[in-house]
Structure 1
Amino acid sequence: MRRGQLRDYRGCGCLALLLLLFGMALFPVLVHQAPKVAGGVVLAVGGLFVCIASYGLCRFSRYILERVSRFGQGLRADRHPYSLELATTRGPIRLYNPFRGILVVGAAGSGKSESIALPLMRGFAQKGYTGVLYDFKFPSLTGDMYSLLAARQNPLPHYFLNFHDPLRSYRVNPLHPRYLPHTGYAREYATAIVSNLMRESIRRPDFWTRSATDLLTACIWYLRSEHPEMCDLPHVLALVTSPDEALLKTLKQNEQCAQMTVSILGALERGAENQVSGVVGTLQGAIAQINTPEICYLFGGDDFSLDINDPENPIVLSLGSHPSLAGTYAPLCSLVITVATRLMNQPGKHHSFLLLDEGPTLFIPHLDLLPNTARSNRVATVFMCQDLAQMVDMYGTEKADVLSAALNTHFYGRVSSSKTARFMSEQFGRYDQVYTTSSASRNWRQWLGGNEGKSETVQERDRIRASAFLRFPVGRFAGIAVESNMTEFNAQFRVPARPPQVPLPQPTAEGDMLEYYRRVRREVNSLLVAVDAPQETEPGKRAGQDPASRFRLDV
């Protein structure tokens, strides 16, 4: 219901109430004057009848207006089947085209999750969106998403990754050969891992980080080409952490992998062992953060496909991070999201969403290009952060500006940074404020005379002051919306009731995590032995020593 229609309804109600009160007051007066005025009773009854008829007419008009309004809303819903709605004290905000991208900025406790994320998730569930949800405080938003989907008549399958407790999580293989059609994908996925493990490489990539990315790309592609049955993250991590010489000689067996690591292989042939150790050690030291039995177990299965918006098998995926281990889980979440978005951003797919709660805790390669390129493919990108400075810190000034501009609809809540508050204020522009000054002067000798004058000055004033964003209450947001019923807004958002909570399912654990971790190491050792075992006795080899032992790690 639009605000103009709401005023019409209120006008009808007020008019009916006034007529009713007038009739009640007129009736006893006319009855009292009936003996003096001929036909007083008739007039009284007639006046009361007019009041009742007027009241009924107003009620009937309101009924007609409501029906017309509902019919109009139905037409608009047909024109905008993917629209989302958020309730405010000044009326609903309808985003007719959420694929234009949404940016939500608000400090901790400003109401981002309750006032913005939850209504958007409700709309995604009601409109049948598939998508990916990054839940920074698992299972806060994941539980709501699962409950909202369960309330639908035909709910979409919902999978989640619980990094904090892998035995109560689904398992996925983001490096499955079907996600690696050519080497460009392998490099993209390697970049997602290395950039989150070595944050300094995002802004200032150097020889060591570039070489580490090349080496990881070669390891992924080697397993993809030579041993596709072992192409998963646990085997890649085990291969990376193999002894230097064994690793490089293994990769050299594949022509493409040899080209990827040509600089490292050249250093090895020249005897520059320090350079080789520096490159391999850089990658191995970073990989050690995620090379654990728990993570290997989680990424060693394949319970669902990352083709999230496949029209034949649409799903919703939630990634559960944890504030105390956000740095450890960031490379893994980024890898999964990178794989998923590459598959989502294709024509002819189901409409979908990507909602990133605390988005700056992840580095996703080319995320600044996703909102613009995925718009035509019906992918709605929602990026939530506490402050714009976080985006700059993670992506750099240029990419942060590009990402902010690519997300066309902005919601600004309370912030703690005066710099961010000034930026927000500038988005709404200024208006001209006219000030009128009156002056008068009189001479005591000529008290009947004098001069009077008026002057006007025009000054520019911020439409929303920067200081206002520092004092916004919880749930109040101002912003700019494209393709919406409100191009600008500054309102208190209504907090919707949470859906009836449905407990998350408990996937069945398969096997022992530590035993799986050891088995992966043994399988990778067998690859190194098969490729690199020398055919004749080497000088200096002790009697009875296995010639391939120097290529293996003990398990």
Structure 2
Amino acid sequence: MREDRKDQAKINEIALWASIIFLLAHFFLEWHGLFKSLGWSNPFVDNLIRKLLAGFGVLTSPWPLKLLAAGALVAFGISSRGVKSRSLKPQSVAIDLAIGVILFLGGTFLVPDSTQWLVAKAGLMGGCLIYLTLTIIGLLYLLKGSQGINRLMNSQLGKDPFNVENETFPQEERLLTNEYSVNIPTEFTYKRRLRRGWINIVNPFRGLLIVGSAGSGKTFSLIYAIIRQQIEKGFSMYIYDFKFADLSIVAFNALIRFRKNQPKNMKFYCINFDDPAKSHRCNPLHPVYLPSIEDAEESAKMMMLNLNKSWIGKESEFFVSTPMSYVTCAIWLLRTYKDGQYCTLPHVIELLSMDYKKVFPLLVDRPDLETRASIFISAFEGGAMEQLEGQMASARSGPAKLSSPGLYWTMSGNDFMLDINNPKEPKIVCVGNNSKKNKIYGAALSLYNGRILHQINEKGKHPSGVVIDEIPTLFFDGIGNLINTGRSNRIAVTLALQDYSQLDAEYGKAQADVIKNSCGTVLCGQASGATAEAMQNRLGKNVQQKESINIQSEDTTHGFSTEMNFIAPAAKISQLSQGQFVGVIADTAEQPSELKAVRAKVLVNVDDFNKEQKYKELPNFSNFAQEGNDLAKLVQDNYLQIKADVREFIESETERIAKKHNIPLPEPKNRGKK
């Protein structure tokens, strides 16, 4: 390295001396008259000059020697080892070179043979001094500018303080469509250009998970688009509308707009406990759905886990399983009485609220309930009243919160069946919750959710979409299995939540991981913590260029290197603006895409959306309300009738058992013990 520097220094020295010699020769030839008048010449030199001019006619012009001097000087300046400067700008170097060229070369027009007026005005000595001054100043500017070229740094260091350019990557700009696809337009930056792209969800049946904090734009930008496009393509739909009626109105108006694309028998149904007039009636415990006691047990489990979410993952524990068993027995008692005439959730709630001393004889009489009821009966007959009271309180206190006229009205009738993707009767069903009453309504709604998810996962059915907004607000048992197995049955599951920690808290880490890892397509808006880190890892890394500069007094080292780094770091995900999303898209073998990663702003045609929402408000779905009846009175009468039905059921069965066995009913031992 040192030998190379010495050789370079020698070459630079030669260039400098060449420039000086050319420049001195130029001065002597062009101002020879001045030197001769000053006695700085002799006949030998004069004779030599005449021979040179005669032999080299090119030297009769002042330009060749001066251009050679300028070229050698610039070569010396460029090849000199100067200290790199981050503050030096190309503009200042260009200005120095321009001034140098103008003064150094432009002064050539002032030589005596070119401009006699300067000599006439300033005299031969004065003209020479003016020319010499201009040339030397120009020389210095040329030297400064040429050395500045060598000191310039072609560096991007500091121009991209947040590493934005390195983290951009090519995204899908093609529009890939098929009969089931959801296509959402986007806008992204790549290679410093703003580009248009597409989120092509060509296989929605592989599951879609949408994550984003409140206000990140996941509902307006993505969920609305998914609902509208799937309805446009004729999907039957099940929509869990946590903030009723936001999603329901979108679905209803989309159905009106795209009615021509729907099967002729497609119908819209809505479940809403707050306003019976705007709700259909549906019984999720209809006898058709409960062909065996295992189905009753599944419904009991779903309801009780939503009432007591701390029980999730603890179903095998004694003080969790026994209340569930009692609820299962209550459901099955009503299911088998008069072909399930009273098998509704309101009747189950009322039965659970009855004195268990009146219910136990009914359980004893049922061989199919013997195993499940043995725990209660043993405690009752053994006088373990304190234990029994605790079990009964766990089974009764939660369901008792569901007792309300509106809920009883909605869940005791049956305007439609829950097989939403039945090809003969495809449906769009919206189930509305109330964020202020979620803990109360959630358990009741879970019965619809569980029953629908169980009904639709069968072959040969109509393509269907399941959209569940704010999934942590309800416990959906088996949702992970539906995502994994529903693909072959053309079930497109879309789940939305605010943060992974919510899912972990409500479902337990094991089930939450199943849900998170089952979805092929994941899109995430602004999020932080573990959610952002998970998305960071899911999107992966790309090759990013790194630049380093080491400036020393004698030398500057300027290097470039590459390394793999995250394309969407967790910190950047936590700073996403509203409507911006990152994610990974699942493709198909028929429509493959190598550009699966997304980091873009979703584009929404707001005018088109607003126009669609003006079509129609949700009407009064209740036939009773449409007929002008006093719906409030009907709802209250229904509430009282259900209570009377359960009393009649207890009395009728008690009388039947007494006649059958002709023995007194069992009484607890140790009555005084509590």
Give the Cα–Cα distance (whole angstroms) in 1 for the partners of residues 552 and 379 of structure 2.
Answer: 92
Contact 2:270 2:278 in 1 (8 A): no
> Which structure is higher in RCO with an 8 Å CA cutoff and minimum separation 6?
1
Q: What residue in structure 1 maps to residue 647 of structure 2? A: 525
> Which residue identity is paired with 2:301?
T
Contact 2:278 2:618 in 1 (8 A): no
Does residue 1:370 correspond to 2:476, yes or no?
A: no
Does residue 1:258 correspond to 2:356, yes or no?
A: no
Q: Give the Å deviation of 1:256.
A: 1.3
Q: 2:318 aligns with which of 188, 207, 226?
A: 207
Q: Give the Å deviation of 1:234.
A: 1.4
Q: Are the structure 2 counterparts of residues 440 and 414 from structure 1 closer, same or farther at C-alpha, using a change threshold of 3 Å?
A: closer
Contact 2:181 2:201 in 1 (8 A): yes
Q: What residue in structure 2 maps to residue 145 of structure 1? A: 251
Q: What residue in structure 2 maps to residue 170 of structure 1? A: 280
Which sections of structure 2, spanning at least 5 residues, go unmatched? 1-173, 188-195, 625-630, 666-674
Q: Give the Å deviation of 1:432.
A: 3.8
Does residue 1:473 correspond to 2:577, yes or no?
A: yes
Does residue 1:383 correspond to 2:505, yes or no?
A: no
> Which residue identity is paired with 1:125?
I
Does residue 1:133 correspond to 2:231, yes or no?
A: no
Q: 1:288 aligns with which of 387, 400, 406?
A: 400
Give the Cα–Cα distance (whole angstroms) in 2 for the partners of residues 350 and 209 of structure 1.
Answer: 38
SS at match of 2:582: strand
Give runs of aligned pairs for residues 72-87 of structure 1, distance below 5 A: 77=177, 80-87=178-185
Does residue 1:197 correspond to 2:307, yes or no?
A: yes
Q: Deviations over 1:30-63 (max 9, x none)?
A: xxxxxxxxxxxxxxxxxxxxxxxxxxxxxxxxxx
Give the Cα–Cα distance (whole angstroms) in 1 for the partners of residues 278 and 286 of structure 2.
Answer: 22
SS at match of 1:323: coil
Q: Give the Å deviation of 1:459.
A: 4.0
Contact 1:134 1:356 in 2 (8 A): yes
Give runs of aligned pairs for residues 335-414 of structure 1, distance below 5 A: 335-414=447-526
Q: What residue in structure 1 maps to residue 623 of structure 2? A: 508
Give the Cα–Cα distance (whole angstroms) in 2 for the partners of residues 518 and 455 of structure 1.
Answer: 84
SS at match of 2:623: coil
Q: Which has the larger radius of gyration?
A: 2
> Which residue identity is paired with 1:196?
N
Q: Give the Å deviation of 1:456.
A: 5.4
> Which residue identity is paired with 2:582?
A
Give the Cα–Cα distance (whole angstroms) in 2 for the partners of residues 397 and 197 of structure 1.
Answer: 19
Q: Are the structure 2 counterparts of residues 209 and 442 from structure 1 closer, same or farther at C-alpha, using a change threshold of 3 Å?
A: closer
Contact 2:272 2:279 in 1 (8 A): yes
Contact 1:168 1:508 in 2 (8 A): no
Give the Cα–Cα distance (whole angstroms) in 1 for the partners of residues 205 and 294 of structure 2.
Answer: 27
Give the Cα–Cα distance (whole angstroms) in 1 for the partners of residues 540 and 410 of structure 2.
Answer: 49
Contact 2:200 2:585 in 1 (8 A): no
Q: 2:186 aligns with which of 56, 68, 88?
A: 88
Q: Are the structure 2 counterparts of residues 94 and 273 from structure 1 closer, same or farther at C-alpha, using a change threshold of 3 Å?
A: same
Q: Give the Å deviation of 1:428.
A: 1.5
Contact 2:207 2:493 in 1 (8 A): yes
Give the Cα–Cα distance (whole angstroms) in 2 for the partners of residues 142 and 333 of structure 1.
Answer: 15
> Which residue identity is paired with 2:533?
R
Contact 1:196 1:362 in 2 (8 A): yes
Q: Are the structure 2 counterparts of residues 500 and 294 from structure 1 closer, same or farther at C-alpha, using a change threshold of 3 Å?
A: closer
SS at match of 1:324: coil
Q: Are the structure 2 counterparts of residues 458 and 167 from structure 1 closer, same or farther at C-alpha, using a change threshold of 3 Å?
A: same
> Which residue identity is paired with 2:236?
T
Give the Cα–Cα distance (whole angstroms) in 1 for the partners of residues 546 and 299 of structure 2.
Answer: 60
SS at match of 1:200: helix
Q: Give the Å deviation of 1:383.
A: 0.5
Contact 1:428 1:464 in 2 (8 A): yes
Give the Cα–Cα distance (whole angstroms) in 1 for the partners of residues 642 and 596 of structure 2.
Answer: 55
Contact 1:196 1:330 in 2 (8 A): yes
Q: What residue in structure 2 maps to residue 303 of structure 1? A: 415
Q: Give the Å deviation of 1:430.
A: 2.1
Contact 1:101 1:380 in 2 (8 A): yes
Give the Cα–Cα distance (whole angstroms) in 1 for the partners of residues 225 and 198 of structure 2.
Answer: 11
Q: Deviations over 1:46-84 (max 9, x none)?
A: xxxxxxxxxxxxxxxxxxxxxxxxxx98xx75xx31111
Q: Give the Å deviation of 1:503.
A: 1.7
Give the Cα–Cα distance (whole angstroms) in 1 for the partners of residues 440 and 354 of structure 2.
Answer: 21
Q: Deviations over 1:64-108 (max 9, x none)?
A: xxxxxxxx98xx75xx31111112122222211100000000111
TM superposition score normalised by structure 2: 0.65
Q: What residue in structure 1 maps to residue 17 of structure 2? A: none
Q: Give the Å deviation of 1:153.
A: 3.2
> Which residue identity is paired with 2:256?
A
Q: Give the Å deviation of 1:452.
A: 7.6
Q: What residue in structure 2 maps to residue 448 of structure 1? A: none
Q: What residue in structure 1 maps to residue 602 of structure 2? A: 493
Give the Cα–Cα distance (whole angstroms) in 2 for the partners of residues 84 and 283 of structure 1.
Answer: 44
Q: What residue in structure 2 maps to residue 66 of structure 1? A: none
Q: What residue in structure 2 maps to residue 435 of structure 1? A: 546
Contact 2:231 2:237 in 1 (8 A): no
Give the Cα–Cα distance (whole angstroms) in 2 for the partners of residues 300 and 363 of structure 1.
Answer: 23
Give runs of aligned pairs for residues 19-34 of structure 1, distance below 5 A: none
Deviates more, 1:499-508 or 1:528-537: 528-537
Q: Give the Å deviation of 1:442.
A: 8.0
Q: Give the Å deviation of 1:461.
A: 2.4
Give the Cα–Cα distance (whole angstroms) in 1 for the partners of residues 644 and 556 of structure 2.
Answer: 99
SS at match of 1:245: helix
Q: Give the Å deviation of 1:431.
A: 2.9
Q: Give the Å deviation of 1:437.
A: 4.2
Q: Give the Å deviation of 1:455.
A: 5.5
Q: What residue in structure 1 maps to residue 69 of structure 2? A: none
Deviates more, 1:271-280 or 1:342-351: 271-280
Give the Cα–Cα distance (whole angstroms) in 2 for the partners of residues 254 and 167 of structure 1.
Answer: 40
Give the Cα–Cα distance (whole angstroms) in 2 for the partners of residues 480 and 314 of structure 1.
Answer: 31
Give the Cα–Cα distance (whole angstroms) in 2 for the partners of residues 453 and 289 of structure 1.
Answer: 74
Give runs of aligned pairs for residues 22-101 of structure 1, distance below 5 A: 77=177, 80-89=178-187, 90-101=196-207
Give the Cα–Cα distance (whole angstroms) in 1 for the partners of residues 200 and 546 of structure 2.
Answer: 37
Give runs of aligned pairs for residues 419-430 of structure 1, distance below 5 A: 419-430=530-541
SS at match of 1:477: strand
Q: What residue in structure 2 maps to residue 179 of structure 1? A: 289
Q: What residue in structure 1 maps to residue 53 of structure 2? A: none
Does residue 1:114 correspond to 2:214, yes or no?
A: no
> Which residue identity is paired with 1:517?
Y
Contact 2:579 2:602 in 1 (8 A): yes
Give runs of aligned pairs for residues 5-20 of structure 1, distance below 5 A: none
Q: Give the Å deviation of 1:166.
A: 2.1
Q: Are the structure 2 counterparts of residues 341 and 469 from structure 1 closer, same or farther at C-alpha, using a change threshold of 3 Å?
A: same
Q: Give the Å deviation of 1:525.
A: 1.3
Give the Cα–Cα distance (whole angstroms) in 2 for the partners of residues 378 and 306 of structure 1.
Answer: 17
Q: Give the Å deviation of 1:152.
A: 2.0
SS at match of 1:424: helix
RMSD: 2.3
> Which residue identity is paired with 1:518?
L
Contact 2:539 2:568 in 1 (8 A): yes
Give the Cα–Cα distance (whole angstroms) in 2 for the partners of residues 128 and 429 of structure 1.
Answer: 36
Q: Are the structure 2 counterparts of residues 439 and 236 from structure 1 closer, same or farther at C-alpha, using a change threshold of 3 Å?
A: closer
Q: Give the Å deviation of 1:213.
A: 0.8
Which sections of structure 1, spanning at least 5 residues, go unmatched? 1-71, 444-450, 540-555
> Which residue identity is paired with 1:504?
L
